[in-house]
């Protein structure tokens, strides 16, 4: 009986958190940012990762509350530890730009989070890793190209442009101008101005 009661409490707790998070999303949609933040915060403090991510967004952008990057990082971290893929991406970006500790430790942790988020299909993480591996202190061009292709195949026009650059310059792949042109055309068709300029040249 004690176990059954505990399970019921857990279900009730999760259901309330889901309801609060949905209420927060609806409130934000109609412009009631402060009410939305209150709902997200209540659900986040109950351990609901989607709400923790939303609280992080509120703090990062100053929606419904004061802008506070440290608090944003805290809530992204909580959501990321519950395997929330977009929170892993956001927390990784926070670590690289604002996080405490040594640069190497922050970078090592951030890359691990970005790898997880990219593996979960987060296009932003794939694109970020692609550029990161291409431009790092010790470039890993083949690895960078792999992530750029993943992001490009998910519809990211900027990554498609970078793939074109890789083929044009032979970065991580054998130089192939025909293939470079194909990627530039696809990127330009999706609205990328850099690709249009490259095609004109």
- Local confidence pLDDT in tens for the 201 residues of the chain: 566 555 545 555 567 888 889 989 999 999 999 999 999 999 999 999 999 999 999 999 999 999 999 999 999 999 999 999 999 999 999 998 887 777 778 888 999 999 999 999 999 999 999 999 998 767 789 999 999 999 999 999 999 999 999 999 999 999 999 999 999 999 999 999 999 999 888
Report residue 103: phi and psi, to 5°. Answer: -60, -45
Contact 82, 49 (CB under 8 A): yes
Cβ-Cβ contacts under 8 Å for 190 (sequence gap 6 or more): 155, 157, 160
User: Which pTM does this prediction carry?
Assistant: 0.83
Question: Interior CA angle at 56 toward 50 and 61, to 5°?
Answer: 130
Distances in Å between the Cα of 75 and the Cα atoms of 87, 91, 98, 166 are 9, 9, 14, 37
d(CA 38, CA 33): 9
Contact 136, 110 (CB under 8 A): no
Predicted pLDDT at 16: 84
Predicted pLDDT at 5: 55
Token pair for residue 54? 């939303």
- Exposed/middle/buried for residue 179 (C-beta within 10 Å: 0-12, 13-18, 19+): middle
Contact 167, 183 (CB under 8 A): yes
Quickly tell me which residue has 């593996």 as its tokens. Answer: 119
Contact 78, 113 (CB under 8 A): no
Give the domains, in start order, of the chain with CATH numbers: 121-200 (1.25.40.10)
d(CA 174, CA 201): 21
Token pair for residue 132? 């990161």
Predicted pLDDT at 105: 85
d(CA 96, CA 50): 22
């Amino acid at each position: 009986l004690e176990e059954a009661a505990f399970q019921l409490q857990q279900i009730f707790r999760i259901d309330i958190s889901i309801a609060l998070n949905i209420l927060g999303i609806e409130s934000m949609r109609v412009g009631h940012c402060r009410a939305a933040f209150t709902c997200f915060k209540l659900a986040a403090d109950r351990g609901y990762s989607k709400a923790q991510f939303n609280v992080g967004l509120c703090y990062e952008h100053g929606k419904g509350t004061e802008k506070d990057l440290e608090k944003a990082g805290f809530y992204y971290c909580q959501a990321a530890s519950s395997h929330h893929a977009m929170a892993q991406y956001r927390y990784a970006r926070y670590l690289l730009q604002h996080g405490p500790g040594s640069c190497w430790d922050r970078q090592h942790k951030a890359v691990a989070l970005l790898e997880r988020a990219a593996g979960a299909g987060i296009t932003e993480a794939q694109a970020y890793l692609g550029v990161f591996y291409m431009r790092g202190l010790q470039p890993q061009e083949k690895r960078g190209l792999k992530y750029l292709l993943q992001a490009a195949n998910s519809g990211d026009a900027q990554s498609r442009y970078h793939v074109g650059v890789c083929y044009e310059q032979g970065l991580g792949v054998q130089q192939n101008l025909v293939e470079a042109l194909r990627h530039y055309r696809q990127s330009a068709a999706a609205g990328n101005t850099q690709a249009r300029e490259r095609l004109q040249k």
